[in-house]
Structure 1
């Protein structure tokens, strides 16, 4: 568990599968605006349990790190934050992703969670660079990253297929301050 002021992040366990399913189903329309459409099978308890198992296996293999974002006062799961496509060797980098329940947006939780996972990435995983890609019209997400210390690097044209369309992405990154 990595604690912040009013939130904490921690890896998922099998006990989180119901909360994760509730987060996904209650925010489906909102989340799918910024990611790919998912089949109805994705929104099943069995699939959420399998996802958690896969995430934990990939964490053990140093491929990706998936955390829930929880409110400190209630232990309510309000979002997810992750490092994926971890590359070792001469790059020492990863990509960051996150989702926050629509009703929790605008309260600073995502910025705090991003700062916590970046600190973890630099100090525990010894990563050098973390990169993010955000659709240019997603101003809130760009602000989250900039508040967390990321800098803009450019636009990746037609970079990610979302809901059947190739979308441009603003590329942002943060470099370990001691490198």
Structure 2
């Protein structure tokens, strides 16, 4: 049963990619080919919005070692240059200081508080909303 559910998930990821609405990326350690985390460029919106939502996860043994920050240094320019998007949004639970610190270090600005935004572990959780604009990213790089 688990294999079937996983296959459905992969099929959905492929469909989202083909439709241009989501891209799932995985982070591997170069030395060992070990899967350590992932990044989702999701809810890609075109038209007047030209934006996406960034989601990410890191395996606990690999957290806090700079892997996600290094990955974002590749993914963020890809979003702005290759996908030609204008805005990236990311949200994190207020108590997740490590995630908030990562977003700020990557250039994101906190924009607000979202009440009961996402259902995490069976409970609706508040989140802080962060965003990074293409022009702000470009200015910080120059």
TM-score using structure 1 length: 0.71
Q: CA deviation at 1:166?
A: 2.0
Between the aligned partners of 1:80 and 1:47, the Cα distance in structure 2 is: 19
Question: What residue number does 1:161 align with?
Answer: 119
Query: Matched residue of 1:113: which SS?
Result: helix
Query: Matched residue of 2:20: which SS?
Result: coil
Between the aligned partners of 2:108 and 2:9, the Cα distance in structure 1 is: 28
RMSD of aligned C-alpha atoms? 1.6
- Per-residue CA shift, 1:82-124, capped at 9, x if unaligned? 1111110000001000111100011011111222211111111
Q: 1:175 aligns with which of 127, 133, 138?
A: 133
- Per-residue CA shift, 1:146-177, capped at 9, x if unaligned? 11111111111221222332211010000012
Query: Matched residue of 1:106: which SS?
Result: coil
4+ residue segments displaced more than 4 Å: none
Query: Matched residue of 2:54: which SS?
Result: strand
Between the aligned partners of 2:75 and 2:8, the Cα distance in structure 1 is: 23
Between the aligned partners of 1:74 and 1:114, the Cα distance in structure 2 is: 20
Between the aligned partners of 1:170 and 1:56, the Cα distance in structure 2 is: 29
Larger relative contact order (Cα-Cα within 8 Å, sequence gap ≥ 6): 1
Q: Is the 8 A contact 1:114 1:145 kept in 2?
A: no
Aligned residues: 137
Q: Unmatched 5+ residue regions in structure 2? A: none
**Pair 1:49 & 2:3 matched:** no
Q: 1:122 aligns with which of 69, 76, 80?
A: 80
What are the within-5 Å matches in structure 2 for residues 7-86 of structure 1?
44-86=2-44
Between the aligned partners of 1:126 and 1:76, the Cα distance in structure 2 is: 31
Between the aligned partners of 2:11 and 2:75, the Cα distance in structure 1 is: 20
Query: Matched residue of 1:117: which SS?
Result: helix
